Amino acid sequence: MISCPNCNELNSNSFQICKKCGFILQDKIANLDFFQTCWMILESPTNAFNKILRAEHKNFVLLLFYGLISTIIFIITWFNASGKNFDNLIYYLLLIQLISIVTFLPLGFVCALSIYLTSKIFQSKNSFINCYAITGWSSMPLLFYFVIFVPIGLGIEGISFVSSFTSNITSNSILFYGISIIFITYFFILLIIGISSLFGSVGYVKFVKSFIIALMSLSITIFIAVKILNQII
Ligand SMILES: [Zn+2]
């Protein structure tokens, strides 16, 4: 919370002007720089999300949605051992890329909309565009995971890696399980921090609310992604 230097009113960290007297609390932000914002999320996620909420243009959200949806699609095919339907790793990678390219816009929209609607249940007064920006930017680790670690993991292990989920365990695959768990947990924590920055109030009740909202919205998105994938693979 920011205390207004003019009237002492407590304002949410994302507010640009005091809600009581209109005093300017923080500078205006027009655009977000990609690497600077990524770095800020790493260093101080709460400040980063407040900056994202204050930014006039929510840059890079679509690119980040691509990271979110392609990771969800990759994880589902991994759990389902979909790799066994392919003779070749290249075909598998091309297909999941193609599915990601076609679905990341509608599924990213569904995820942000679910966050917007479920946060309404908890009386959040936030705009859809803020929920949309929060969903996108919390997916930052997943973009790096999908673009860097998934190709490395698959390159080392080959198609057999996505052909069975639990059997065929090697030290490489254990390393890859570990990396996947770290990235996904990191994303989930960022999403909770992001959603909680949508609530003006302070305290750990908002973290519980944010946890429930994050879990519900992701479940809806994953459920739809599973339905789509069942039709294709
Ligand atoms: Zn004031």
Tell me which residues have their CB within 5 A of the ion that is ligand 1.
4, 6-7, 9, 18, 20-21, 23
Query: Are the C-beta atoms of 70 and 219 separated by less than 8 Å?
Result: no
What is the CA(19)–ligand 1 centre distance, in A?
7
What is the CA(49)–ligand 1 centre distance, in A?
23
pTM of the model: 0.89
Q: Which of 148, 150, 151, 118 is nearest to 135 (CA)?
A: 118
What is the CA(17)–ligand 1 centre distance, in A?
8
What is the CA(6)–ligand 1 centre distance, in A?
5
What is the CA(1)–ligand 1 centre distance, in A?
13
What is the CA(44)–ligand 1 centre distance, in A?
26
User: Measured between alpha carbons, how far is 35 from 40 in angstroms, rounded to an integer?
Assistant: 8
Q: How high is the pLDDT of residue 89?
A: 86
178-212 pLDDT, tens digit each: 999 999 999 999 999 999 988 866 678 888 999 99
User: Measured between alpha carbons, how far is 230 from 233 in angstroms, rounded to an integer?
Assistant: 6
Q: How high is the pLDDT of residue 201?
A: 63
pLDDT band at residue 124 using 50, 70 and 90 as cut-offs: confident
What is the CA(28)–ligand 1 centre distance, in A?
17
167 pLDDT higher than 90: no
What is the CA(29)–ligand 1 centre distance, in A?
20
Q: How high is the pLDDT of residue 172?
A: 76
Mean of the per-residue pLDDT values of the chain = 90
Query: Are the C-beta atoms of 121 and 43 separated by less than 8 Å?
Result: no
Q: Any idea what the Cα angle at residue 149 is, between residues 146 and 153, rounded to 5°?
A: 115
What is the CA(145)–ligand 1 centre distance, in A?
43
